[in-house]
Structure 1
Amino acid sequence: MIQTFRSIAVALLATAAVMIVLPEGARAQDAADMFVRLNRLEGQVRELSGQVEQLQHQNRQLMQTLQRFQEDVEFRFQEGGGAGRSGATTPRTQPAPAPAPQRRGDAFDPTAAPAAPGAPRNLGEAPVNTANSATGGVAIIGDDPAPGAGTPLDINSLAREAMAASAPTARSGPSIAATGSANPAQDYETAVALLRQRQYDAAEMGLRQFLQSHPRDRLVPDATFFLGETYYQRKRYNEAAEQYLKLATDYPSAGRAPEGLLKLGQALNAIGAREQACATFAEVTRKYPQAPGAVRQATERERARC
């Protein structure tokens, strides 16, 4: 800025010197040129003055920002328990503890009676039956939390809890109209043949159509098992487990019931419900001690992995 004013002064002095030595006509021309130059110089001076004011304003803003930043840092340091510039610390105000909720005198407290009916329990844990003594010592489904201890196990609720935890909304196939033929055995054999040929989608459609067309046929348990197989082979383990569970609960005396219970445990294991799967394998041994040798051997192999 000072250098600019110096340049302007030098220019004025040079112009005055030239006007002294020049003739009168040249002086008039030079006076006009000097007037134009002076106007330009004044404009430049005004522009430079505006820039100086703008820079001063920005400088003040930066100083204010820096001061606020320093005050904020000092406040945070004091808030955290450190000493500020003044050497004093600002104690942090602790929020007042929330008042404990009032409990009714007749309300059920599960922590006081964890074995009472209705108390919460972990997934797959069988509820304790407090009424066992009132029934004359007769075992009731689900009264022993340790599977394989010689008491019945509620496979239905155990498996459904595991399936709900792994896939709350399991897929289901489209609705099939009951348009089977008048020969149930032929419909069944056709669908099973498709399964053996690994045409799982077609086999599923055929078996579901058979089950809807002939719901009371003697082959329904086997068809239910093989419908589960069509899902299992396609890694649709939740839907497979549903069919195996239906076989185990609705047709426990069917010839394929032991194998269906074994496959139920394998499907549960595939969806990550290992604890429920191990309980199911133990139930195969307890419930079907006379199961076919292949089923018993496969069950023992699965139990060894638990």
Structure 2
Amino acid sequence: MSMMYQNEHSGCFNCDRSEKPQIEVKKIVKGDTGILSLKENEIVFVTEGRIRFVANDFSGCEGLKGQMLFLPAGGNYSFDALAHSTITVFRFYESIRLCDNFDLEKLYEERTKRNGYRAHTVRFGILDMNALLWHYLDGLNDLIAEGVRCRSFFNVKIKELLLLQRSFYTKEELHDFFSPILSGDTAFSEYIRLRWKNFRTVTEVASSMHMTHKQFYNRFVSVFGKKPQQWMNEGRARIIHNEIISTKKQFKQIAAENGFASDTHFTRFCKKELGKTPTEVRYGKTTMGDNVK
């Protein structure tokens, strides 16, 4: 079956022609590798093959056929296809809500209040796909293969995915799947994870949330366990490191895209946070984690 009126669909302002659409099906050849620097949360469904993901702190996991993986925003990941693989990627540009009446913060509250439960920190969330999710993905992937790229459609399908998870997985399973981003103040932490790169200073972030600097500072430290500027510097350093070693972008472009007013400021930042100048990082190929926490 072929989609009718292809030109009308492709010419619509709602057609998602971006490099990173909200939902994307990707085929990866065995042996392919790459580096991901995520600015948004992603859920990756492995519908064929086997892929290894490694985070910047060197924790890793393997996604097998029939599994979904949660990759939180703000992290750098490398991947290695251990077999010919097909994945469906969902990108969340806004905070995740399982439904209108159940946000992620409730998972944290309900799971941690149970007697004998010990909270644990993981880098990846993994769940097996049930029969309903397989059916859902088969239909979605067929439509994408036919050329459907509508943002409105993608928004509906993302809501449908979250509703399926909410309805057919236990709260304990969902807690463990989303645990990399859960906290006692998930709404606050997700706002920071998804938007911090839009601001140059801690004061700007605080103002955007209608908070004083002191209010923001105290709340940030209680959630992240670090000072805001330290956390932001480390996050920006990871992004810059990844772009220097895995792209051919000129340093001026990387500097401008990351909010640096001059080459001097950019170089000074790299020397402080990465231990080397941009040129030394690119041609010396430092290992992620040597200097970036």
Q: TM bucket by the smaller chain?
A: under 0.3
- Give the structure with the higher percent helix: 1
Q: TM-score, normalised by structure 2?
A: 0.23
Relative contact order, higher structure (CA 8 A, sep 6+): 2
